Amino acid sequence: ELSPEDSETAFCTLANREDLNLEEGSVQYCLYQFTRNEKLTETNKLLCDVCTQMHYGPKKNIKSEKKYVYTNARKQMLISLAPPVLTLHLKRFQQGGFNLRKVNKHVKFPEVIDLAPFCTAKCKNVAEGETKVLYSLYGVVEHSGTMRSGHYTAYAKMRNMNNNLSDLVLRGQAPQALETEPVKGQWFHISDTHVQAVSAAKVLNSQAYLLFYERLL
């Protein structure tokens, strides 16, 4: 149940979503679609206990007669707690009938991503008045092959230890000073026992399956 105050801010985000200049086929576009405001109408109406009691009376009389009231509603999935480490899992398969096929389309992803447009206005672990929730990329898992067989490789950034991030994990404290640049370090490509230094450009052009970001502090 939502209080009147909560219902007013339930669909508000830390940053204005409508100001986003989204490119289709990007991670930001995927997040925007996943967190979009949905209308529940017709066969998707919401079963409302309050409406049911107002119409039929107390619950004890309702269950015996199986009488319920369904109402139009809105639904939106937003981030309520900004995690220290953000893991994004990209769906790399598509079902056609009884068959599954792998999706090899390149999904663009940035070195620094802002989650604020996808967070609730009262998101935890975010300092009051802050309108950015930034994360820096530090790891990518890539899959080559088909749905039946293939090979997993990884990209990882070697960087200095982030003590502030450890404090966030252990104490859940909101960041006091926010960085806006990617964490500096050297990227490496790991395939079984083979490790090779690579550029950030090569990482960003990979066919990402899993993305790992750390909170910028």
Residue 210 belongs to a domain with what CATH number?
A: 3.90.70.10
Q: Taking a C-beta distance cutoff of 8 angstroms, is the pair 78, 35 a contact?
A: yes
In a domain, 21, yes or no: no
Q: Confidence class of residue 1 from pLDDT cuts 50, 70 and 90?
A: very low
Specify the DSSP class assigned to residue 148: S
In a domain, 128, yes or no: yes
Q: Is 94 contained in some domain?
A: yes
Q: Which residue has the higher pLDDT, 51 or 117?
A: 117
Task: Report the C-alpha gap between 209 and 202 in whole angstroms.
Answer: 15
Q: Is residue 206 part of a domain?
A: yes
In the predicted structure, residue 145 carries a pLDDT above the cut 90: no
Task: Supply φ then ψ for residue 91, to 5 degrees.
Answer: -75, 115
Q: What is the pLDDT of residue 155?
A: 97
Residue 208: which domain range? 79-215
List CB contacts of 79: < 8 A, sequence separation 6 or more. 35, 115, 118, 119, 120, 123
Q: How many domains does one find in the chain?
A: 1
For residue 152, give the amino acid letter: Y
Q: 166 pLDDT band (50/70/90 cuts)?
A: low
Per-residue pLDDT tens over the stretch 90-127: 988 877 777 777 888 889 999 999 999 999 998 888 88
Domain assignment present for residue 96? The answer is yes
Please, which residues have CB within 8 angstroms of residue 143's CB and are 6 or more apart in sequence? 92, 150, 151, 152, 207, 209
Q: Which residues contact 74 (CB under 8 A, 6 or more apart)?
A: 11, 37, 38, 39, 40
- pLDDT tier for residue 59 given thresholds of 50, 70 and 90: low
For the stretch 14-50, pLDDT in tens is: 998 888 888 889 999 999 999 998 888 888 888 888 8
Q: Is 35 within a domain?
A: no
Residue 160: pLDDT over 70: yes
Q: What is the pLDDT of residues 170-209, one digit of tens each?
A: 666 666 655 677 888 999 999 999 999 999 999 999 999 9
- Report helix, strand or coil for 34: helix
* Look-up of token digits 């991670």: 27
The rounded mean pLDDT for the chain is 84
Tell me the average pLDDT across 73-94.
89
In percent, how much of the chain has pLDDT > 90?
41
Q: Which whole number is the average pLDDT over 55-77?
A: 73
Average pLDDT over residues 207-215: 94
The stretches of 57-112 forming alpha helices (DSSP H) are 59-65
Instruction: Give domain status of residue 58, yes or no.
Output: no
Q: How many whole angstroms separate alpha carbon 71 and alpha carbon 62?
A: 17
Please indicate, yes or no, whether the overall pTM of this predicted structure exceeds 0.95.
Answer: no
* H/E stretch holding 187: strand 186-191
Q: Is residue 193 situated within a structural domain?
A: yes
Q: What local confidence, expressed as pLDDT, does residue 8 receive?
A: 65
In sequence order, which residues have a C-beta less than 8 Å from that of residue 150 and are 6 or more positions away? Answer: 143, 144
List the structure tokens of 3: 């209080």
DSSP H helices in the chain: 4-9, 27-34, 49-56, 59-65, 163-171, 200-204
